[in-house]
């Protein structure tokens, strides 16, 4: 029997589309044997690996968005920005903070939120051992010290999600097993390759990254630096996606990563995209290992 794995990428609010994809797969009786996620993908994927039910995941996420603790992040203030602006969270946050960023720098803090505040934000997540899940799970984070990609497959789900989605400069890095961890997007936005390490023999990836084409010209040095980082991340993602057998791309690239108020629309986009790929997914599940290897070989030859 085939063992399908699901790679869920990062993208802030756009990642709510992962819920729609999971909903469709569930309705069709397609249960992933393994899930690897980065940032919001680690959150959605981790909750699904724990609950085993897309409806419970959706309920948890929608309740979390309404939770007063969530408002500490200031997403409601950031939603007023131009939706065609491709800047990331840190860039928006710089604008939002204004002169206050100077005070932060003067205090030589490494993050805007202190450890206790971050604890409060992430406390709503289940603190359960990953290794007991029926669905194998991996959260991808980045070690600030070595620069290496860190694959978290055991220990606390809360800690794994926190490490994978710790926005650099906003939340303090997570200390875990001798590492100093931040958001996995710095090394692997869509961790398709991690699924084979979890025993998956075919990979379905969900890409909710931003559309680079919507960017305007740089206004200052910060725009140049962060735009450069975004371009690097984009091309890294394209490289990682070559390891997937099927790539689902929900129609959310035009949305801001702060658009949590449009959750219904984003989840629906995930459903629509999953249905569009449903026949290919079913063929992938049913295909034999030999024919699959031939197909992958042809993709490599064609440079896909």
Which listed residue (143, 183, 245, 259) is catalytic?
Answer: 183
97, pLDDT greater than 60: no
Q: CB under 8 Å to 28, separation ≥6 — which residues? A: 278, 281, 282
- Give percent of the chain with pLDDT exceeding 70: 76
pLDDT in tens, 258-304: 888 899 999 999 999 999 999 999 999 988 665 666 566 556 666 55
Which listed residue (39, 209, 237, 256) is catalytic?
Answer: 39
Catalytic residue flag (residue 146): no
pLDDT in tens, 147-157: 999 999 999 99
94, pLDDT greater than 80: no
Average pLDDT over residues 94-111: 57
Catalytic residue flag (residue 39): yes
Query: How far, in Å, are 38, 120, 136, 246 from residue 194 at the CA level?
Result: 11, 30, 11, 15
């Amino acid at each position: 029997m085939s063992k399908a794995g699901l790679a869920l990428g990062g993208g802030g609010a756009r990642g709510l589309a992962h819920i729609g994809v999971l909903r469709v797969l569930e309705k069709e009786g397609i249960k992933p044997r393994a899930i690897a996620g980065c940032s919001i993908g680690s959150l959605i994927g981790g909750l699904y690996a724990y609950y085993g039910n897309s409806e419970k995941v959706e309920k948890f996420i929608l309740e979390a968005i309404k939770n007063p603790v969530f408002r500490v992040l200031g997403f409601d203030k950031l939603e007023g920005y131009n939706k065609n602006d491709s800047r990331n969270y840190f860039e928006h946050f710089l604008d939002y903070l204004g002169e206050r960023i100077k005070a932060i720098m003067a205090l030589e803090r490494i993050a805007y939120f202190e450890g206790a505040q971050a604890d409060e934000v992430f406390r709503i997540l289940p603190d359960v051992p990953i290794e007991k899940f029926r669905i194998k799970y991996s959260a991808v984070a980045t070690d600030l010290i070595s620069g290496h990609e860190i694959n978290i497959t055991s220990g606390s789900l809360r800690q794994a999600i926190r490490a994978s989605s710790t926005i650099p400069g906003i939340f303090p890095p997570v200390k875990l097993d001798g590492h100093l961890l931040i958001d996995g997007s710095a090394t692997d936005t869509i961790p398709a390759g991690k699924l084979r390490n979890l025993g998956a023999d075919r990979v379905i990836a969900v890409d909710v990254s931003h559309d680079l084409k919507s960017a305007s010209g740089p206004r200052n040095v910060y725009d140049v630096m962060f735009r450069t980082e975004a371009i690097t991340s984009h091309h890294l993602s394209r490289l990682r996606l070559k390891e997937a057998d099927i790539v689902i791309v929900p129609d959310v690239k035009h949305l801001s990563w702060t658009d949590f108020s449009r959750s219904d629309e984003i989840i629906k986009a995930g459903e629509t995209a999953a249905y569009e790929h449903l026949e290919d997914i079913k063929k992938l599940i049913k295909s034999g290992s030999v024919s699959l290897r031939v197909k992958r070989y042809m993709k490599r030859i064609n440079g896909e």
